[in-house]
Structure 1
Amino acid sequence: MKEHEETVLALIAGYVDTLGFVALFGLFTAHVTGNFVLIGAEVAGVGQGVLLKLLAFPAFIVGVGSASVAAKIMKARGDAYIAAALHLWQALLLFAFFGTGLLALPIDDASSGMVLLCGVLGATAMGVQNARPKVLQKPGLPNTVMTGNVTQIVLDLVDLAHRGSHHAEGPQVLARLRATLTAMLAFAIGAVGGALAFVHLSFYGLILPIALLLLLAWPPRVARAA
């Protein structure tokens, strides 16, 4: 599963972000930019759940900070163990997101304490995933926000249309384009899956991303990679 790790993470991001959006009054758990937009709209009198979106920002920061602390603690063990620790920590936070979501049902009050806690835990979990490539200090495609990937796809397509694929940088551009398209497709599939999962399974739909994170962190895989 190691070679497909980034694709799986993109799917998880799209899945959890959309499930949280559908479940929690339009909350974005995987990135904070969308929540700033929604806060602005709600201040103008459109929408609901402004406190929920405001709390998502410090929760996201806590997720990023906790990922950094975990990476520093595990530094001596190597990158494979750091990645496994982050996957496990994110899975634990998503499990808490799952549990508080069930306790919050039926979700009809955006200011309910359990709803607020549920949203905070979801945003913290996705903050961990956002921090992962930074704390591992490895180049790679963004797997939680697709804006940059869409931009890169357009740039690469224009480059290939202009110069073709046989120039010196052609193979590199093609490889990057394939990887970027794969990540975007995985995110899109995850987004559709997350929406459908909540509609049909409520917060039980979170069992899938939790299971995927546990598979990514499976000890035998870490041992082979170490």
Structure 2
Amino acid sequence: SLQQLTSDENIRFMLRERIDNMNHEMKPTQSRDVNIAIQFWKRMDMLLRLDYWGNLDLARPLPVLSALSRTSCPRAVAALAVELFPEQQHCQVDHNLPLHVACTNPSPGAMVEVLASPESAGTRTFQGRYPLHVALHTGALTWNSGVAALWKSFPLDGSPHDKVTDLPALLLACNPDPQIKQQKIRYHAARVRPGMWRFLQSSAKQQSLQSSKHTIELEHLETVFEILRADPSVLRSL
């Protein structure tokens, strides 16, 4: 069945890759063509349902923005989704806004930047956490992959502490979740050589992973530096 088929992690990864690549079908000259947009979205909707629920139950309302926030969503798709479902930006699914979901995704694409309005970026989770705190605690985002957009929309002036860890943003950025970090390293290594990863020899994979580890560590270090530069007063709270 489709549900059994899509329960396989490899199949789900392929679906997410397909979602990542579908924005190439939206040519700039076609973006205003309503018929093309409708056909495009019908296919996108089916892929999202398979990825989010593992089935094609069309009668069940799909939280599109939350579903896209779990993928590496390109800007063209993210912008189209927000245009089609603007009300979902502020609708919680399992006590989380789509932005909260995107902040836990090591590769959210453009979803964080598109969703990071002042209202959403200033909305706490049921645990009392701001999206920025969620992103930094998990280590899913770096300065250039979403933290800058969150800070710009809702700067945490005075560095209010995270409700869960009781740490300011700077210290959260210094201690990213090691499991998320490993996921980012593997994802980065695979994306550097798209379509070739499974065919690489073990030595080549290890070399690629080491290079990706260095890149990810530099990105996290840059995040710490940029937060410190954006809010030097955080040093007084340490």
Q: TM-score, normalised by structure 2?
A: 0.25
Question: Could you say which structure has the greater relative contact order, defined with CA pairs below 8 angstroms and 6 or more residues apart?
Answer: 1
Q: TM-score, normalised by structure 1?
A: 0.26
More helix by share: 1
